[in-house]
Amino acid sequence: MFKAVIFDNDGVVINSEPIIFDATYEVFKKYGITITKDDVEEGIGAGDKYVRLPKEKYGLTEVSLEELLKEREQGFRKLAPGRLKPFPGFKQVVNYLKKLKMPIALASSAETEVVYHNLKVAGVNYKIFDEIVDSSKIENKKPAPDIFLQAALQLKVDPQDCLVIEDAIMGIEAAKKANMRVIAFARSISRDKLKTANYVVDSMGELLDLFRHNLSG
């Protein structure tokens, strides 16, 4: 059915999305703006779009996007210790795939240092992935397919033989553009908004069961 699995990071491997929102909320609050989750939903998994969209919506011109992103990252790092963890069952999924000798990659739109820092804080050993792709290795972020195509290239697997695990609308679109099948992990966004994926799961346990059912033997 497929020859490699590509995991998105935020909202799939690590439970970072609630912390990202809280940090973003505090940054905008500093400038007198109260954002909602609807303000950032389209930007989930799409790099700086997460901050750029509410900045443009509320006409925040007194501070640059770069400064907002810097403040958000500082806030995130203050909130992350003790909260940032891998999703329950993720390690079991990885262990199962490794027993099958299935190549796996991590694909994150974040910067290199941020990816490795967050994995460390969450207690995830980056060496469990055969390949890691971050924003430094691509030209265009999601919904462009660049990050997934680069992961397939590094894994030495044809894109059509890759399966992507994503939690965001933009990520699903990017995977589809890369001619890959995609399973949506419905933790950051409700199931009804992820219907463009080939399949939707609510937990790592459900994902593991799906793999066992389809890959056994």
| Number of residues that make up the chain | 217
Please state whether beta strands 162-166 and 131-133 pair in parallel, antiparallel, or not at all (unpaired).
unpaired
Considering the candidates 8, 39, 134, 167, report the single residue annotated as catalytic. Answer: 8
Q: Which residues have C-beta within 8 Å of that of residue 209, sequence separation ≥ 6?
A: none
With b meaning 16 or more CB within 10 Å and e meaning fewer, what string describes 190-207?
eeeebeebeebbeebebb
Active site residue 158: no
8 belongs to the catalytic site: yes
Of the candidates 10, 134, 146, 167, the residue annotated as catalytic is: 10
CA 167 from centre of chain = 6
Residues identified as active-site:
8, 10
